[in-house]
Structure 1
Amino acid sequence: MLRLFYESRIQNLIASRRLKSGEKLATERELSATLNVGRGAVREGIKLLAALDIVEVRQGSGTFVKKDQSLVLLDASHLGSEERREMLAQAHQTRKIIDCAVAELAALSVSEESLIKIRDYLEDSDREPMLTRLACSIDLTFESMLGDATGNAYLRAVQKEAHRYFQTAWESTGYMPRPAEERSQQHWAIYNELAARNSKGAKAMMEAHLNLRTIEKEPNDR
């Protein structure tokens, strides 16, 4: 468990410094001083992150970021300009319309085979090391699986484009909407409605999942 603790601190350091894919991390000595831990702990943390494809260790060259990491957004002021906030709000609004419709239709169309695949994905996501891997990254795999479960290729294509714009908009800020643990709990709530074939419930749970007060505006604010 200590190794996981040290690994998460290195992961958060990558996110807080907004290091991008290909950028070099500080040396073990520097990380040890920054995090106030031993070099052995840093080495073990890096080893786990490398196994998760978050960093890459190049012998003789150092350790490099392989996958960008993001912090949870708690304060909208971190988004920067009003223009950026508006861009995110529009991307999110579009995704919300589509993914709520997807959840509603998926509850009516999902097969037992698809339910098993979705459940297996959620269970895997809650296990270490996958929980660590998803802790600092935006992941839309669950919603994409719901799109597949609808059996509607046209809706899935529209959803894919909406996700692309949404993910690009959020990743440009270096933040993500909510903690991975909270995201997982909400995904399970949606899944339970799918399994019950409750289309209204699935839509309602997706609406709750996509309720982001950090960027959403009330109608009279527009």
Structure 2
Amino acid sequence: MNIYQKLFKLILAGNTNIPAMINAIIGATLQVRSDSKNSDLTFRQVHIFHSEQSLQALTISVAWQKALSNHKISSTSLVHHVTKIEDSNVDRFRDLVEQLGTIVNPLDNPQNYIDLTSGISSLKSILAVFAYVLDIENIYSLEIDFSKDPDTRKKQASLFYDELEKAGVSIKYRKFPPIKKFDTFGKLNYTEVLRHRSNINDLVNCLTNLLPSGLDIEHLRESLLSGVNSSLIGEITE
């Protein structure tokens, strides 16, 4: 493995539909080879965040290993994580964030790819936010033009990448628009206003039962928000 190859890692959500998950890995690998102009390049690590069901489905299947090897992708590059983020448990969410933090180091590992093709929606949302926070621009999703006929579509959904191509099914690996454009909101202080609004609402709600009944609580709320707005305008205009 050369030094250049060590820079590349892929992060994606698991899927109980094993061909869909493996096809995403193949699509990402073909993309990184195209980006790097290196036809032999593979990800040093492919981090898959499984549900218990998707990990079990992977362990009882063997055909996926051949599908990967057809593209010179070693199954030993797969790193498996198990998460129960769908339980909405704070500790599990914290654990997921910590796991992501051990994978990506923006100082010495800038070539990270995130695939949002499949998996539960909450996990994909977390990966998208994670990509935004670390300014990861390589965010992709595999788009397959399945047949509209239910029976044909079901059969196609069980096919691996090469089989889909042989069947003439259109496969595209699309890059997401640059989500760092959301920084514009931060530069305009929109995000700061929203955070102050939340804090002020919490404060006013706490004071409601403590202040005299004749006091206009809404006037207090608006006055505080007006003060915040004036402060931000002062910072922008100096």
Larger radius of gyration: 2
Structure with the higher strand share, 1 or 2? 2
Q: TM-score scaled by structure 2?
A: 0.24
Q: TM-score scaled by structure 1?
A: 0.25
Greater relative CO (CA pairs within 8 A, separation 6+): 1
Structure with the higher helix share, 1 or 2? 1
